[in-house]
Structure 1
Amino acid sequence: MDTIEIAKLLLFSGAASMLFSTFLGFLMLVPMQPWGRQLLQGMNFKQFGAAHLDWLMLGLMQGLAGGLVIVFAVEPAPSAVWAMILGGWLNPLAYVFRAFGVNAFAFGGGATQRLAATLGLGSSVAIAYAWVAILSACWDGWR
């Protein structure tokens, strides 16, 4: 992929994340409705608010990465681009798991909790790797 295609991919994924978070915002209105409270009993609905914000921020992060690719005219490794996208979409799932009573922030408990925690850790590592690779490419292109 060339610089433009990489930037398009990152920007599109970031914008899609913003749209998805917008729709999640509509879902967050359900417990505010008289009929909605009963539908969501037993769910920690505040965690959806955290996921909503995380998808917004990670969408902006993907957009910033796309902007850096364009401005610095670099082609980071495809693995870094896909790690940024995959990590950006999967990382907020830790809050979604938590909304359903699975603590994805602690590696322990049953198989579901360990899987959720592994997913959270993996997505965080993917994002960190992506930033190091993208910023390294920018640094090399800058000098």
Structure 2
Amino acid sequence: MEMTDAAKLLFFSGAASMLFSTFLGFLMLVPMQPWGRQLLRGMNFKQFGAAHLDWLMLGLMQGLAGGLVTVFAIAPEPLAVWAMVFGGWLNPLAYVFRAFGVNAFAFEGGATQRLAAALGLGSSLAIAYGWVSILAVCWAAW
């Protein structure tokens, strides 16, 4: 993956994450409407707020990684770039699972909870791997 391809993917994915979070923000207005309270009964809707902020922050994270790729004129390994994108999109799902009553932050319980927790762990490890890999290449290019 060339430097420009990596930067383009990271910038685009980060911007798409920001747009997705914006639409999620509109969805978060539903329970505040008189007609919306009945639609979402039994759901922990505050967890969508956490997911909303997480997608914003991880979108910015991807943009920053794209900026590093551009400024340092590096060509990071494709796995590191895709790990950042994978982690940036899937990591906030832990909050979405929690909104529906599945605690994705604890590796216990039934198969759904364990799968959700494994997804959260995997996405966190992907983000960490992406950062370590990209920063190591930046350090070497400095």
- The TM-score, its normalising length taken from structure 2, stands at 0.99
Distance 1:6 1:84 in 2: 11
Gaps of 5+ in 2: none
Question: C-alpha offsets along residues 81-139 of structure 1, whole Å, 9 cap, x if unaligned?
Answer: 00000000000000000000000000000000000000000000000000000000000
What amino acid does structure 1 have at the position aligned with 2:17?
Answer: S
Aligned to 1:46: 46
Distance 1:101 1:126 in 2: 25
What amino acid does structure 2 have at the position aligned with 1:57?
Answer: M
What amino acid does structure 2 have at the position aligned with 1:60?
Answer: L
- Where do residues 82-97 of structure 1 align in structure 2 (5 Å cutoff)? 82-97=82-97
Distance 1:6 1:85 in 2: 11
SS of residue matched to 1:107: coil
- The TM-score, its normalising length taken from structure 1, stands at 0.99
Aligned to 2:2: 2
Distance 1:44 1:16 in 2: 25
Gaps of 5+ in 1: none
Following TM superposition, by how much is the alpha carbon of 1:5 offset from its aligned partner in structure 2, in angstroms?
Answer: 1.1
Pairwise CA RMSD of aligned residues?
Answer: 0.3
Number of positions where the alignment pairs a residue of Structure 1 with one of Structure 2:
142
Following TM superposition, by how much is the alpha carbon of 1:22 offset from its aligned partner in structure 2, in angstroms?
Answer: 0.1
Aligned to 2:74: 74
Following TM superposition, by how much is the alpha carbon of 1:19 offset from its aligned partner in structure 2, in angstroms?
Answer: 0.1
* Percent of aligned positions that are identical: 84
Following TM superposition, by how much is the alpha carbon of 1:2 offset from its aligned partner in structure 2, in angstroms?
Answer: 1.1
Following TM superposition, by how much is the alpha carbon of 1:79 offset from its aligned partner in structure 2, in angstroms?
Answer: 0.4
Distance 1:117 1:124 in 2: 11
Question: C-alpha offsets along residues 21-78 of structure 1, whole Å, 9 cap, x if unaligned?
Answer: 0000000000000000000000000000000000000000000000000000011110
- Where do residues 93-132 of structure 1 align in structure 2 (5 Å cutoff)? 93-132=93-132
Aligned to 2:20: 20
Moved over 6 A (4+): none
What amino acid does structure 1 have at the position aligned with 2:105?
Answer: F
Distance 1:75 1:125 in 2: 21
